[in-house]
Structure 1
Amino acid sequence: MRSGSDPQQAQERAHSRSTVQSLAKGFRILEAFGPDHDEMTLSEIAAIAELDPGTTHRMLNTMVDLGYIDRVPDSRRFRLSLKVLDLGFHAIAHRELRSLARPALRTLVNDTSEAASLGVLSGAEVLYIERVRAGVTRLGVDIRIGTTVPAHQSIIGHCILAFLPETELARLATLPRRQTFVTRNPIEWNDLGPALAEIRMSGHALRDSTLSEGLRILAVPVRDADGLAIGAISVAAPVGRSTEDEFLTLALAPAQTAARNIARALEASGSIGTSI
């Protein structure tokens, strides 16, 4: 005869199989720190996190190596590093950028009757953080908020990369990249030079989509006070709807206005400086 607790036990077993317990323990250690516990010894951390000293020791060593926890000099105490703050700042910045950019993107869609997106760099990839569709029409690959694509394989990525310092481009080239989409006419990172130079000259990127056949993309950078790209916005339209010149005439000025308005909104919020 089966006991009434069997379904609950089965659910708990299924849950345990779908989670990584060591990762959960690592977060328990991070969450042990707080305003009243900003610096602690191993034993203090273990007590608050409710972990044994051996596990706590291994977890702390791992997080020190990764840069998320610092050893306090001349003591046996530990504290959170500024790298942990970076995670929170990135989340806050993206959420604020989405909120500030949404009105400008909606105006852009109203002016062009085409879909518009905002992307920022996340490592060597473009992270789409806002998207406004034009009606209910779906265009090619379903790019959603949170989608990432390799920066060197996307037009919006090219537009961001074109307005970054050479030292930053060199650093990004060394980072790992995931191939999340099958791209058309793929380009290697080392072959980006001519395309980026052309974008710098014109101030925008215009070409057929690398992700979806029959789609044309116009992208313009959102730049800070130093002229460096903090992101880029794109407008997407079916190739058969207009010629390149017609599409440029329709969308370039509204896209540039949207980019300026986003930069101004960010400056007003104190997020960036701007040269506009």
Structure 2
Amino acid sequence: MEAVKEQAWRDGQFRQNQYAMSSKVTGKSGGKSIQSVDRALSILEALSLSNTPLMLNEIAKLVGINLSTCHHLVSTLVKRGYVVYAGRSSGYSLSSGLEAIAQRSARDFNLVKFVRPKLQELNANLREAAQMCVLRGSALVAQIMLASHIKPQLDLRDNTKPHTVHALAAGKAILAWLPEAQLARVVADNGLASFTDNTITTLSALIEELRLVRRAGFAMDDGEFRADMVGYGAVVRDMSGAIVCSIAVTIPRSRASDAYRTHVAHAVVDCARELSGRMPAGCFV
């Protein structure tokens, strides 16, 4: 059955025609904390307040935990690259790992500020739901989500579920331009989960889809994550050509006439092209 489905996907003309056509929880605060996480953060705080490396027994005393527990937590932080072990006689100190996270967070914040006005303009002009996504490791992360202005209004929060990168236009727009080894790693990490009958669930079908994306200059998801949604996405590059993020617009299938699909695809591509033309090299990568 899977082979039949795969063959139909590969040989069918519908998707190629679509690409070609469009180419012309709230809760109470103060809940329970995770003890091991709390202790690990306390260790990082203790190291950050010290002007010199600390010995293991000094860390345990400052944090108020026994030596064995402290050793396991510190060893994990060393393994993850957030703490440096300088030897038995020198002790432990912070690495630059936390600084790198802080710098990335600042870049993400600046990227959101850079993209938001243009994405809001696209959202207002089409009156459809729009979003901006980045690939963090192997995960597709939505950093801006703008609701549609007309009914039926789509809730894009579900689109941020894990392992959706292959089923969304915003994800495929980025995947299409990844080096082969990185694409293989993303697929291995995420898998190719089936969300609807239209979801791409084999690597060969995904590779063929990404070929269409590169040729068309945009990506499409046609009921692949939710059967009632159709999406169009395009990558945003900086002036060096590096891929920074993707933008996408999602519309209800009830409005997805051929003419409207073409209109939405062109609007998304134009928005991504305008952002790319203004994005300085190296700022957000």
TM-score, normalising length from structure 2? 0.76
Structure 1 residue 59 corresponds to structure 2 residue 67:
no
How many residue pairs are counted as aligned between the two chains?
254
Residues 157-172 of structure 1 aligned to structure 2 (within 5 Å): 157-172=171-186
Structure 1 residue 129 corresponds to structure 2 residue 143:
yes
CA distance in structure 2 between the partners assigned to 1:73 and 1:189 by the alignment: 48
CA distance in structure 2 between the partners assigned to 1:82 and 1:145 by the alignment: 34
Distance 1:79-1:175 versus aligned 2 partners, 3 A rule: farther
Structure 1 residue 271 corresponds to structure 2 residue 275:
no
CA distance in structure 1 between the partners assigned to 2:51 and 2:201 by the alignment: 48
Give the 3-state SS of the residue equivalent to 1:198 in structure 2. Answer: helix
CA distance in structure 1 between the partners assigned to 2:89 and 2:273 by the alignment: 50
Distance 1:68-1:211 versus aligned 2 partners, 3 A rule: same
- Asked if the contact 1:117–1:131 (Cα under 8 Å) also holds between the matched residues in 2, the reply is yes
Residues 61-140 of structure 1 aligned to structure 2 (within 5 Å): 61-72=75-86, 75-135=89-149, 137-140=151-154
Give the 3-state SS of the residue equivalent to 1:153 in structure 2. Answer: coil
Distance 1:216-1:145 versus aligned 2 partners, 3 A rule: closer
Q: Which has the higher contact order (CA 8 A, sep 6+)?
A: 2
Give the 3-state SS of the residue equivalent to 1:211 in structure 2. Answer: coil
- Asked if the contact 2:168–2:231 (Cα under 8 Å) also holds between the matched residues in 1, the reply is no
CA distance in structure 1 between the partners assigned to 2:106 and 2:66 by the alignment: 34
CA distance in structure 1 between the partners assigned to 2:211 and 2:153 by the alignment: 29
Structure 1 residue 147 corresponds to structure 2 residue 164:
no
- Quote the offset at 1:46 in angstroms: 2.6
Give the 3-state SS of the residue equivalent to 2:141 in structure 1. Answer: strand
Identity level (%): 26
CA distance in structure 2 between the partners assigned to 1:176 and 1:212 by the alignment: 18
Give the 3-state SS of the residue equivalent to 1:174 in structure 2. Answer: helix
The residue aligned with 2:267 is 254
The residue aligned with 1:221 is 235
Which residue identity does 1:32 align to in structure 2? A
- Given candidates 8, 32, 57, the residue that maps to 2:46 is 32
The residue aligned with 2:34 is 20
Higher mean C-alpha deviation, range 153-162 or range 64-73: 64-73
Distance 1:207-1:70 versus aligned 2 partners, 3 A rule: same
- Quote the offset at 1:242 in angstroms: 4.2
Distance 1:137-1:93 versus aligned 2 partners, 3 A rule: farther
- Asked if the contact 1:68–1:80 (Cα under 8 Å) also holds between the matched residues in 2, the reply is yes
TM-score, normalising length from structure 1? 0.79
Which residue identity does 1:43 align to in structure 2? N
CA distance in structure 2 between the partners assigned to 1:27 and 1:103 by the alignment: 36
Give the 3-state SS of the residue equivalent to 1:26 in structure 2. Answer: helix
- Given candidates 157, 170, 185, the residue that maps to 1:156 is 170
- Quote the offset at 1:105 in angstroms: 0.7
What are the ranges of 5 or more consecutive residues in structure 2 without an aligned counterpart? Answer: 1-29
- Given candidates 176, 194, 202, the residue that maps to 2:208 is 194
What are the ranges of 5 or more consecutive residues in structure 1 without an aligned counterpart? Answer: 1-13
Distance 1:69-1:36 versus aligned 2 partners, 3 A rule: closer
- Quote the offset at 1:139 in angstroms: 4.0
- Asked if the contact 2:47–2:94 (Cα under 8 Å) also holds between the matched residues in 1, the reply is yes
CA distance in structure 1 between the partners assigned to 2:166 and 2:270 by the alignment: 25
- Asked if the contact 2:168–2:221 (Cα under 8 Å) also holds between the matched residues in 1, the reply is no
- Quote the offset at 1:61 in angstroms: 1.2
- Asked if the contact 1:106–1:132 (Cα under 8 Å) also holds between the matched residues in 2, the reply is yes
